[in-house]
Amino acid sequence: MNHFQTDTPIYLQVVEEVKSKILGGQLQPGDKLESVREMASRLEVNPNTIQRAFLELEHQGFIVTQRAVGRFVSEDIDFIESCRQNKIQETIQQFVKEMERYGITKADIIAYLKEENHE
């Protein structure tokens, strides 16, 4: 049984999962990815879905294909770090907006984080 949400195409969820592993360091530059068939079997999805996800990841610059060898995480460390920093900024901005909906200010957030850091 897979863990996919119904409101987002599965291939995009696969893209986000792989990107998350790359940006989080679980997949390192130059690491070989599973084959299309291996990933499709593990995730219990159609191989065409994985192929589409890999094409999107390659288009975005996260992976590269070496014919007859396989797919690998991009070795462009600057690109990966830039994407990681952008993701961090985006996540923080979303968090701050969500907290503001509850009446929590940026100063409140900072104070809370400082308090948590000292505990």
Residue 73 and residue 30 in contact, taking contact as beta carbons nearer than 8 Å? yes
User: Regarding the domain delimited by 10-75, which CATH topology (the fold level of the hierarchy) does it fall under?
Assistant: Arc Repressor Mutant, subunit A (1.10.10)
Identify the CA nearest to 61 among candidates 91, 36, 39, 83.
Answer: 83
Task: Determine the Cα–Cα distance for residues 23 and 18; give it in Å rounded to an integer.
Answer: 9
Domain ranges of the chain: 10-75, 78-118
Quick check: 108 pLDDT over 60? yes
The pTM assigned to this predicted structure is 0.83
Digit-coded pLDDT (tens) for 39-94? 999 999 999 999 999 999 999 999 999 999 999 999 999 999 999 999 999 999 99
Quick check: 22 pLDDT over 80? yes
Residue 119 has a pLDDT of 67
Residue 113 and residue 105 in contact, taking contact as beta carbons nearer than 8 Å? no
Determine the average pLDDT of the residues in 22-40: 97
